[in-house]
C-alpha cells in the first residue's frame, strides 16, 4: 500500500511540473510576470503650459492579466468617451512604471501602495487637484462600471479647467 501511495504521489508531482513547464513555454504571458523587455515603456505626454486633465496609470515591471486589463479599460474609456478632449490636448493619458528610478517620487506624491490610476489637473508639468482611483481593481471585470467610475473624476476636472 505504501508503494502505491508513493507511486501516485510521484506521478502527480511529475505531472504538475510538466504542466507548469508546458504552460510557461507555450504562453509566457500567462505566468503573470513580465520582464523589463516586455514592460511598457514609460509614456509621457510632452510638457504643456496649458491647463489639462492628466490620467496616469501607474504600473511596475511585473504585469499580470489584471494589470493589463486595467490599462486597456482606462485607454478605452478615454478614447470612447473623451476623443475630442484627447485630440485637443485638454485630456492626456500616460503610463508610468514605478520601478523606474525617475518615477519613484510618485509613490509619495500620490500615496501609492500598489498599481492604480490617478486623475489630476495639471499645468506646466505640475499636478494640482488629484484623485487616486483604487476601485479600478474591483471593477476590472465589469467594463461598464469601470468606465463609469473613471468618467466621473475626469469630467469634474475637465469642467473645472479655465
Do 70 and 129 lie in a common domain?
A: yes
User: 61, 99 in Cβ contact below 8 A?
Assistant: yes
User: Considering the domain boundaries, does residue 36 fall inside one?
Assistant: no
Number of structural domains the chain divides into: 2
Residue 31 has pLDDT above 50, yes or no: no
User: Considering the domain boundaries, does residue 43 fall inside one?
Assistant: no
Do 78 and 152 lie in a common domain?
A: yes
Do 56 and 111 lie in a common domain?
A: yes
User: Considering the domain boundaries, does residue 42 fall inside one?
Assistant: no
Evaluate the CA torsion angle 127, 131, 133, 134 in order and state its sign.
Answer: positive
User: How do residues 8-20 score in pLDDT, each as one tens digit?
Assistant: 766 666 666 666 5
Distance (Å, whole) CA 25 – CA 29: 10
Distance (Å, whole) CA 66 – CA 12: 30
Element (H, E) at 107: helix 105-109
User: Considering the domain boundaries, does residue 15 fall inside one?
Assistant: yes
Beta-carbon contacts of 67 under 8 Å, excluding residues fewer than 6 positions away, are 59, 115
Do 140 and 65 lie in a common domain?
A: yes
User: How do residues 65-104 score in pLDDT, each as one tens digit?
Assistant: 999 999 999 999 999 999 999 999 999 999 999 999 999 9
Do 109 and 71 lie in a common domain?
A: yes
Q: Could you tell me which residue, 143 or 46, shows the higher pLDDT?
A: 143
pTM: 0.69
Q: Could you tell me which residue, 36 or 160, shows the higher pLDDT?
A: 160
Q: Residue 47: its pLDDT value, please?
A: 56
Q: For residue 13, give its domain range.
A: 2-31
User: How do residues 96-146 score in pLDDT, each as one tens digit?
Assistant: 999 999 999 999 999 998 999 999 998 756 667 899 999 999 999 999 999
User: 78, 136 in Cβ contact below 8 A?
Assistant: no
Q: Residue 115: its pLDDT value, please?
A: 94
Residue 44 has pLDDT above 80, yes or no: no
Beta-carbon contacts of 158 under 8 Å, excluding residues fewer than 6 positions away, are 53, 82, 85, 90, 91
Q: Please, which pLDDT band fits residue 28 given cuts at 50, 70 and 90?
A: very low
Amino acid at each position: 500500500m505504501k508503494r502505491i501511495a508513493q507511486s501516485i504521489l510521484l506521478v502527480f508531482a511529475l505531472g504538475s511540473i510538466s504542466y507548469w513547464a508546458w504552460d510557461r513555454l507555450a504562453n509566457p504571458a500567462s505566468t503573470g510576470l513580465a520582464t523589463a523587455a516586455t514592460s511598457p515603456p514609460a509614456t509621457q505626454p510632452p510638457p504643456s503650459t496649458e491647463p489639462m486633465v492628466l490620467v496616469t496609470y501607474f504600473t511596475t515591471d511585473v504585469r499580470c492579466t489584471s494589470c493589463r486589463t486595467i490599462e486597456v479599460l482606462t485607454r478605452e474609456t478615454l478614447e470612447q468617451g473623451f476623443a475630442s478632449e484627447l485630440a485637443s490636448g485638454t485630456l492626456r493619458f500616460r503610463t508610468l512604471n514605478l520601478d523606474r528610478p525617475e518615477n519613484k517620487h510618485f509613490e509619495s506624491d500620490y500615496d501609492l501602495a500598489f498599481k492604480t490610476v490617478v486623475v489630476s489637473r495639471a499645468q506646466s508639468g505640475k499636478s494640482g487637484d488629484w484623485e487616486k482611483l483604487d476601485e479600478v481593481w474591483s471593477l476590472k471585470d465589469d467594463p461598464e462600471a469601470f468606465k463609469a467610475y473613471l468618467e466621473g473624476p475626469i469630467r469634474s476636472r475637465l469642467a473645472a479647467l479655465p
